[in-house]
Amino acid sequence: MGEASVLPIMSTDKPAILERLLYQLKAKGHDKSSAYPIAISALQKSGNLKKKSTKPTRKGVKRGKMTPGQRELDRKQNRKKNYARGSGNSRSVYKKA
């Protein structure tokens, strides 16, 4: 019988969002020594981890508690907030901050 892909038990020393990304990178073929810096960098750039640290931000804690489906919905909702209907037509226009 084939083995099912099961997420490892989350350790208490790393944020859940970091553990999840490390697992995904390892599944794609990265070894631990290359996956860790990639994950840290990506999560710091996205605002899920504090700069120069592995401590999660509020956003990182919130997203670490979400399921993959919940994160997908959250991304879709955030994308919709950045667009508005153009005047006089049905095209979407990006809102400038």
pLDDT-based confidence at residue 77 (cuts at 50, 70, 90): confident
**More confident call, 87 vs 37:** 37
Residue 83 to residue 73: CA distance in whole angstroms: 16
Decide: 50 and 56 in contact? Cβ < 8 Å.
yes
pLDDT-based confidence at residue 2 (cuts at 50, 70, 90): very low
What pLDDT score was predicted for residue 78? 76
Instruction: Dump pLDDT digits (tens) for 14-72.
Output: 899 999 999 999 999 999 999 999 999 999 999 999 999 999 999 999 999 999 899 88
